[in-house]
Amino acid sequence: MQEISQKVLYNKQQRINFEELRNKILSFLSSLRVGKTIYKMSPNSDATVYSSIFALYIFDLFKETDNWSSEEKDEWAEYLNSFQDAITGLYIPKGFGGEMVSKEVFQLTSFALSALNLLGRKSKFELEFFKYWQTRDAVIDYLEKMGCWVGKPSSGNMAMFLGIFMTIAYEESKDEKYLDLLNCWFEEHEKHQNPNTGFWEKEPIKNHYFGYQNGFHQLEIFSYWKREVKYYDKIVDRVLMLSNSDGTFWSYPGGGACYDYDAVKLLVDCGINKNYKNESIKPLFEKVLDHVFSVQNADGGFCENKFLPKQIKWLINLKTLEFLCFKNPNQNFFLKFRSIVSISRRKFWKNKTHWVSNSVPWDESDLWSTWFRMLTILEVTETLQFYRKENHFRFLRTIGLGWRSHNT
């Protein structure tokens, strides 16, 4: 299955058949449609507002939204705005009963606002939650409570959401107050940046992987505002040190759509764009591209991972030893070993997220993985100058995941 996919779409001599790639993914997208604006996340999972947004992002990546009528765009906007809270302006997942200041709510709000932007539409209610942060002290307090300076899991996401919200508030109102709050956001980040890694974490570092995965989100705000990044060389060195023999960047074989894209984007922004370690990054990107196409399924979609071990005995073979020992084994070996032992347990055989109610098999095509794998392909092909005769693709055109400064 994977061999056929690679022959059709990619090899080092013929590069990529982008038209074939586009058609396969759009066909996969069509197979998941269950309503005008409703899409399942994967063949065997349910449909949620998250999966519909990811479908919309993919349509826009292929510029399909340019052909939509005003009525179609209105339908999408109406669906998205049905999740907006009239009092706060936040977008809340169906059935959610937790705190408003949470990853689930802020993530959906960020996704929905960027989705509305690409449709040329607005939110139904005022974004009153912007008033959560009206002073520099409020910004500082939020970042500290979220654990941004100690590398708490998901703290990078929470910091990014604040940067996104303040950017939207400034761009829509042109109120200098929000620009000052953004400057505070940057100043606090620069004050707390770890000079040894370039990320936001304290020593001793227990898990190097969380550092870059957290930091990617904060650095997306730096990229959008073209803010100079201190210690960019340390960032690149750390990500390169975490690269694996299979062209991935996580602590178990096969990587992941999010982890691999985050690493690639960091290497582009802090490496290629700074002309730092290009001689190491470009050959690595060839391996990344090989790997990405190895996780495309026959249905045209991409999955999270095809290579996770499902038995402890998987540890006893040469391929595993190569993965464990590749790149600085003293620092990474035991992190990888523990990760592989853990992920091979039966309860982790499916991937659980807050986007859908049921767990999705790691090797099943899904919309999130398909969107992020496509973003990775585009980042890599732009860097390696695999130019396309016809430009059928683009990144998001507003701040948020999927945005790129040199948009196509």
pLDDT tens by residue, the chain, 408 residues: 333 344 445 555 446 788 899 999 999 999 999 999 999 999 999 999 999 999 999 999 999 999 999 999 999 999 999 999 999 999 999 989 889 999 999 999 999 999 999 999 999 999 999 999 999 999 999 999 999 999 898 999 999 999 999 999 999 999 999 999 999 999 999 999 999 999 998 865 666 788 899 999 999 999 999 999 999 999 999 999 889 888 999 888 888 999 999 999 999 999 999 999 999 999 999 999 999 999 999 999 999 999 877 766 666 666 667 777 766 555 677 778 777 777 777 677 677 778 888 888 889 999 999 999 999 999 998 888 765 545 778 889 899 998 886 544
How far is Cα 77 from Cα 124, in angstroms, rounded to an integer?
A: 9
Contacts of 71 (CB under 8 A, 6+ apart): none
At residue 246, what is the residue type? D
pTM score: 0.91
Helix axes 155-173, 176-192, angle to 10 degrees: 150
Tokens found for residue 357: 């109610």
How far is Cα 228 from Cα 244, in angstroms, rounded to an integer?
A: 28
Name the residue among 65, 29, 61, 73 with its Cα closest to residue 47: 29
Query: Which SS3 state, helix, strand or coil, does residue 40 take?
Result: strand
- Furthest CA-CA distance within the chain: 60
Count of other CB atoms within 10 angstroms of residue 191: 9
Tell me if the bond preceding 253 is cis, omega within 30° of 0: no
**For residue 191, what is the enclosing H or E element?**
helix 176-192
**For residue 101, what is the enclosing H or E element?**
none
Q: To 5 degrees, how large is the angle CA 159–CA 160–CA 162?
A: 70
